Amino acid sequence: MPGRKICVVSGSRADYGLLFPLMKAIQGDPDLTLQVAATGMHLSPEFGLTRRAIEEDGFPIDARVEMLLSSDTSVGTAKSLGLGVIGFADALDRLRPDLLVLLGDRYEILAAATAALVLKIPIAHIAGGDLTEGAFDDAIRHSLTKMSHLHFVTNEESRRRVLRMGEDPARVHNVGSPGLDDIRRTDLLGREELGRALEFRFRAKNLLVTYHPATLGALPPEEEIRELLAALDALGTDFGLLFTRPNADPGGRRISGKIDEFVAGRPNAKVFTSMGQRLYLSAMAQVDAVVGNSSSGLYEAPSFRKPTVDIGDRQKGRLRASSVIHCAPSAEEIARAIATALRTDCSDVKNPYGDGRSSERILEAIHAVPDLGALLSKRFHEGNG
């Protein structure tokens, strides 16, 4: 007899990498039935058609929700959000999960939550309470907190923020980041094997670079990436540069185009639409620093004892390890921060996002709820400070 149906939504390579350990844990639990809904960048050839990676990992996809328009504008993103709500309304009405599991703060996830809320499907939200003040993701994340019924936060500071938003303390669980679970379990590739897999020759020094649009930033995306590329150009050809493409946010395609132009004339640089989780984590283990404004530089990099150069305000407010070096989005500041990173000893760095046992804590909390449907009855909890 099938157990409780737990539907996990993924819209990008980034959230899938974090959700993978939890999906494996649900799939292996005899009392649970995993449902997978893929949307957003997973279904787009432009972003690597990464739903194939989900299937290759042994997860049948129960629903595919097409929502991305071929537009690089704020209007296009807003319309994609609307299409997502329509698509998830149909998908969730068909799947009727007992619990919908969402991670993070992207507009694809907001679309799923909006449909689930109206369909009276309980929502479990991972990574609420974080702050990223330079992107509209911040407002989406806090909205998801109020729309959700179970909360799996990644650190104590975030737990306190969720409580201050009026959530019931009994429903807020500090489990750490599920992305760290995979680091603990994955058999990473060594440098030579990784170089062959990526068709890339590592240099004496190497950087892993991911830069997304700062959707609330003052500068246009083209100017932001121009400053970063100028700083990287000044390093010379002795540095190996591994780029991963930005998300499908307003301005993302313009950033991606500038990266393509930069890489085209430089044999020491290569760009990837999607490396896949194992190769990405292996690359993080092999480089000398992580550079850009991706959350992976704050979540995962400290577990590898690698320094992170965090540029601009996209991740502003997020809890960070001592290995994270912040700088303004100017070529001069970025160059200075990279130099500092390469001198930084990260051997004693402690990752503030947990110990790599998040998935088991999440399953334990789900199993402890006798009636998931009863979670829908929710009130504002006073007195949380």
Averaged pLDDT for residues 24-42 = 95
CATH 3.40.50.300 assigned to domain 189-343? The reply is no
pLDDT digits (tens, 9 = 90+) for 341-385: 999 999 999 999 999 999 999 999 999 999 999 999 999 998 775
Strand pairing partners for 376? none
Rounded to whole angstroms, the Cα distance separating 134 from 312 reads 8
Q: Which CATH superfamily does the domain covering 4-177+354-376 fall into?
A: Glycogen Phosphorylase B; (3.40.50.2000)
pLDDT recorded at residue 297: 95
pLDDT the model gives residue 215: 67
Report percent pLDDT > 70 for the chain.
Answer: 98
Q: Which residues contact 245 (CB under 8 A, 6 or more apart)?
A: 47, 252, 256, 259, 271, 272, 273, 274
What residues are paired with 311 via a beta bridge? Answer: 327
Q: What is the mean pLDDT of residues 185-202?
A: 94
At 197 the pLDDT is 97
SS (H, E, C) the chain: CCCEEEEEEECCHHHHHHHHHHHHHHHCCCCEEEEEEEEHHHHCHHHCCCHHHHHHCCCCCCEEECCCCCCCCHHHHHHHHHHHHHHHHHHHHHHCCCEEEEECCCHHHHHHHHHHHHCCCCEEEECCCCCCCCCCHHHHHHHHHHHCCEEEECCHHHHHHHHHCCCCHHHEEECCCCHHHHHHHCCCCCHHHHHHHHCCCCCCEEEEEECCCCCCCCCCHHHHHHHHHHHHHCCCCCEEEEEECCCCCCCHHHHHHHHHHHHHCCCCEEEECCCCHHHHHHHHHHCCEEEECCCHHHHCHHHHCCCEEEECCCCCCCCCCCCEEEECCCHHHHHHHHHHHHHCCCCCCCCCCCCCCHHHHHHHHHHCCCCHHHHHCCCCCCCCC
Give the mean pLDDT of 99-106. 95
pLDDT score of 164 more than 90? yes
Q: What angle do helix axes 331-343 and 221-233 make, rounded to 10 degrees?
A: 50
Between residues 385 and 57, which one has the greater pLDDT?
Answer: 57
Report the pLDDT value the prediction gives residue 61, as an integer from 0 to 100. 97
pTM: 0.86
Residue 313 has pLDDT above 60, yes or no: yes
332 vs 72: CA distance, rounded Å: 28
Where exactly does CATH 3.40.50.2000 map onto the chain? 4-177+354-376, 189-343
pLDDT for 1 equals: 43
Percent of the chain whose predicted confidence (pLDDT) is above 90: 77
Report the alpha-carbon distance of residue 298 to residue 315 in Å, rounded: 9
pLDDT at position 147 is 98
Comparing 170 with 249, the larger pLDDT belongs to 170
- pLDDT band for position 172 (cuts 50, 70, 90): very high
Confirm if 213 and 311 have CB atoms less than 8 A apart: no
Average pLDDT over residues 208-237: 88
pLDDT at 38 over 90: yes
